[in-house]
Structure formats: C-alpha cells, structure tokens
Amino acid sequence: MDSFQILPHLAALGAAYALALPIAWDREQGDRSAGLRTFPLVAIAACGFIQAAESLLVNSPEGIARILEGVITGIGFIGGGAILKTGATVHGTATAASLWATGAVGAAVALGSYDVAIAIALMTFVTLKFITPFKVEEGKEHAGEA
C-alpha cells in the first residue's frame, strides 16, 4: 500500500518525543503538575494530528493551517488546566507555557521543521532550567537583602 508509510511517521513521532523529554524531566524534578508522561504525550499528539491530516490536505496549505490552529487551541486548553489560583497567588503559568511550547515542538517536527523544533525545545529547557523567577513571594526576601 503506497500511503502506508509507518517508518517516517514513527521517526517523526520519536523525534517529537525525544525533544520533549528534557523539558518533561525538568518539570518532573520540580514536582510540577505535568511531567514525564504529559510533555511527551503533548508533543506526539501535536505531531500526530498534523501527520494524520497531511495526506488528506497535501495540496491545501489552508487546510493544514486549520489543523495547526486546532492543535494550538487544544494545547492552550490543556495548559489552562495547569494554572491554579490560590488567593492572590497564581501557580502553573510556566508549566502551561512549556506545555504550549512542547506542542509547538511536535507541530514543527510534523511539518518537517526540525531546526525550529530543536530551537524551541532547547530554548524552553534553558528557560525552565536556568532562568530564576525574580518575583518575591510574600514572607520571603531576596538572598542579598537584609
């Protein structure tokens, strides 16, 4: 069967999965609401939705754009579930944003933009791992302040 090409699909899904793992590992180590299972699943789902539609919409950039739009919206909805408001404090915005970025990784892989996928994954990981929030929580002071 000419349209049955599982190996290229598995390779792309594997790449999306692998690029999501460092982000997932960072979130898991921080005991966040989403971690090792959630991030790779978001990446492969985004990749898979686009791959599944590609053969149907091969000559329709508008159709692919609509699929991509739906994927982006759906991942935003999932990210919204990671945001929690407790009193005046909001938690989970970095997790929500990183879920959205991980979806972009999967989408980029599906569209063959591996360079974009790698750049997004790397920048997301570096941001989560090395950029420390500057906000001062109530009752806590900066280390350098007396």
> For the segment 87-125, what is each residue's pLDDT rounded down to a tens digit?
888 888 888 999 999 999 999 999 999 999 999 999 999
> H or E stretch including 15?
helix 6-29
The reply to whether 143 falls in a domain is no
Q: Which domain holds residue 38?
A: 6-130
Tell which residue, 54, 53, 44, 42, has the closest CA to residue 12: 44
The reply to whether 141 falls in a domain is no
The reply to whether 138 falls in a domain is no
The reply to whether 137 falls in a domain is no
Dump pLDDT digits (tens) for 25-72: 988 887 776 778 899 999 999 999 999 998 888 888 898 899 999 999
Q: How far apart are CA 51 and CA 133, in angstroms?
A: 37
The reply to whether 146 falls in a domain is no
The reply to whether 24 falls in a domain is yes
The reply to whether 1 falls in a domain is no
The reply to whether 136 falls in a domain is no
Predicted TM-score (pTM) of the model is 0.83
Number of domains into which the chain is organized:
1
